[in-house]
Structure 1
Amino acid sequence: MSANTLSRRALLLGASASLVVPAVAQAAPLPDSLATPEVNRRNISSFATQDWRDHFESLGVGAIVCDTVSRALHFWSEDGSDYRIYPTSVPRTDELTKRGYTQIVRKKVAPSWTPTASMMERFPEWKPVAGGAPENPLGSHALYLSWPAYLIHGTHDTRKIGRPSSDGCIGLYNEKIEELYAIAKIGTQVRLI
């Protein structure tokens, strides 16, 4: 009878071990030779880090790269000690996307919004919105670029972040544009890629 009891115990221990081993194996990291390379899935969590030297000769008073593919804004302070990445909204189409070099020429808290002429052609019902209004598409803060009608700004509509949803601007969560507004200086160089 003790042989049967031992067999039952062995069977139960063996079954328990077979449940534990896969969990332990899943927790163990793969060796480098078996690891697969990272894949850019083009969502809010697929940021690819950038190096400012790939875009600018020097940092000047600071630098920003707006990556429309990974939908991220990269910021470097003037001495390079502060590097931050923010999720963004990006233009809906390539026709609305301006790429190249520009800079921050003006900053505004509670900016007012007026639709551009091309917006009015497409959406004649759109009307200007006062700064600070909850329905203001520019959100709480705006960084104006040297290109007319192109901004880096906040948004009250958080569904837009991580998606192609703007008419050309780069949008950030209101709390993130407030943070960037505080550290980005007039003259900060900007590149949209």
Structure 2
Amino acid sequence: MVGSAAAGAEMANDIIGGNEYYQVKEGDTLLEIARLHDLGFIEIVSANPGVDPWIPDTGRTILLPSEHILPDAPRRGIVINRPELRLYFYGGGDGPVVTYPIGVGRQGRETPLGSTSVTAKRESPTWTPPPSIRAERPELPVTVPPGPENPLGMFAMNLGWQNYVIHGTNKPYGIGRRVSSGCIRLYPEDIERLFYTTEIGMPVMVVDQAVKLGWTGGELYMEIHPTVAEGDELEEKGWYMPTPVPGLKERIFTTAGKHAARIDWPAVARAEQAKRGIPIRITQ
């Protein structure tokens, strides 16, 4: 479990990937840059405060937040971190952890938290709108066949929770946002890779961890994302007022253990205020 075994800090490696940079070209948007680099909308906007997501300055250097602390959850199967808008896939053995940006349920249609499993896999799926969606959109047909109008895309994996599915999309610019009716969406190219590496019965856990802590190289890192509410505000207004993280100091003390005296509290305060969603070293 990430952050739960400070005594093993010297041996832990809780971080994957690495941040990169991109120079904006004329006509680029952050939405398009995110798709090109397998990132979601909210995460690229959060990582680049002050950058207009629709008209970024040509020539400006953009941070691509591709480094991630693993969520504090069992490292098996699929782990989905709702506020991070990201899925982690643990295929077992010595294989690498793979992570994908996702879209999740909007306000009032939140993707549920908890544990379930993959119960079925469907290639070229037919979509049957559930009663809750038909109540909102009675004009929908009873079923939608495979094809460009199908919101499930080309691949779908049913979960043990009724009417909840991990699937592709015919609207890729909804990835990294809270716009679905509760299902988990991936870019078309990502769901294809995930589909063929996932087995029926594989566990799925959905967590709510806007703050993640993890060790690598004997140093403690912290990654803070906007909360679900802050992410909604960021998308609606283009900005939000960060709120303090409840219990943050206690969590850091617990995770740091015997290394607590090494904590760089000014770095913690800066990361808490910025909430850029990138791992920051907080030991010194």
In the superposition, the TM-score normalised over structure 1's length comes to 0.70
**How much has 1:95 moved relative to structure 2?**
4.2
Which letter maps to 1:55?
A: A
Q: Choose which of 163, 169, 172 in structure 1 pairs with 2:186.
A: 172
Task: Evaluate the alpha carbon distance shift between residue 174 and residue 42 of structure 1 in structure 2; reply closer, same or farther with a 3 A threshold.
Answer: closer
After TM superposition, the structure 1 = structure 2 runs for residues 147-162 of structure 1, keeping only pairs within 5 Å, are 147-162=161-176
Which letter maps to 2:69?
A: T
Q: Is the 8 A contact 2:106 2:182 kept in 1?
A: yes
The Cα offsets for residues 134-161 of structure 1, whole Å up to 9 and x where unpaired, read as: 0100001011111111010001211111
Q: Which residue does the alignment assign to 2:198?
A: 184
After TM superposition, the structure 1 = structure 2 runs for residues 93-132 of structure 1, keeping only pairs within 5 Å, are 93=107, 95-127=109-141, 128-131=143-146
Q: Is the 8 A contact 1:46 1:70 kept in 2?
A: no
The Cα offsets for residues 4-35 of structure 1, whole Å up to 9 and x where unpaired, read as: xxxxxxxxxxxxxxxxxxxxxxxxxxxxxxxx
Instruction: Report the 3-state secondary structure (helix = DSSP H, G, I; strand = E; otherwise coil) of the residue aligned with 1:64.
Output: strand
**How much has 1:178 moved relative to structure 2?**
0.4
**How much has 1:96 moved relative to structure 2?**
3.0
Within the alignment, does 1:49 sit opposite 2:64 as a pair?
no
Within the alignment, does 1:82 sit opposite 2:91 as a pair?
no
Cα distance in structure 1, aligned partners of 2:202 and 2:65 = 25
Which letter maps to 2:206?
A: L
**How much has 1:94 moved relative to structure 2?**
5.0
**How much has 1:189 moved relative to structure 2?**
0.6
Aligned length: 146
C-alpha RMSD over aligned residues: 1.9
- Gap regions ≥5 residues in structure 1: 1-40
Q: Which residue does the alignment assign to 1:67?
A: 81
Which letter maps to 1:116?
A: P
The Cα offsets for residues 77-99 of structure 1, whole Å up to 9 and x where unpaired, read as: 12152210101111112543211
Instruction: Report the 3-state secondary structure (helix = DSSP H, G, I; strand = E; otherwise coil) of the residue aligned with 2:186.
Output: strand
The Cα offsets for residues 100-124 of structure 1, whole Å up to 9 and x where unpaired, read as: 0000011010111011111111111
Which letter maps to 1:49?
A: I
Cα distance in structure 1, aligned partners of 2:95 and 2:135 = 45
Q: Which structure: larger Rg?
A: 1
- Gap regions ≥5 residues in structure 2: 1-40, 45-63, 208-284
Cα distance in structure 2, aligned partners of 1:160 and 1:42 = 10
- Paired-residue identity, %: 36
Q: Is the 8 A contact 2:104 2:110 kept in 1?
A: no
**How much has 1:50 moved relative to structure 2?**
1.5
Instruction: Report the 3-state secondary structure (helix = DSSP H, G, I; strand = E; otherwise coil) of the residue aligned with 2:144.
Output: coil
**How much has 1:46 moved relative to structure 2?**
5.0
Instruction: Report the 3-state secondary structure (helix = DSSP H, G, I; strand = E; otherwise coil) of the residue aligned with 2:135.
Output: helix
Structure 1 segments of 4+ aligned residues over 4 angstroms from their partners: 44-47
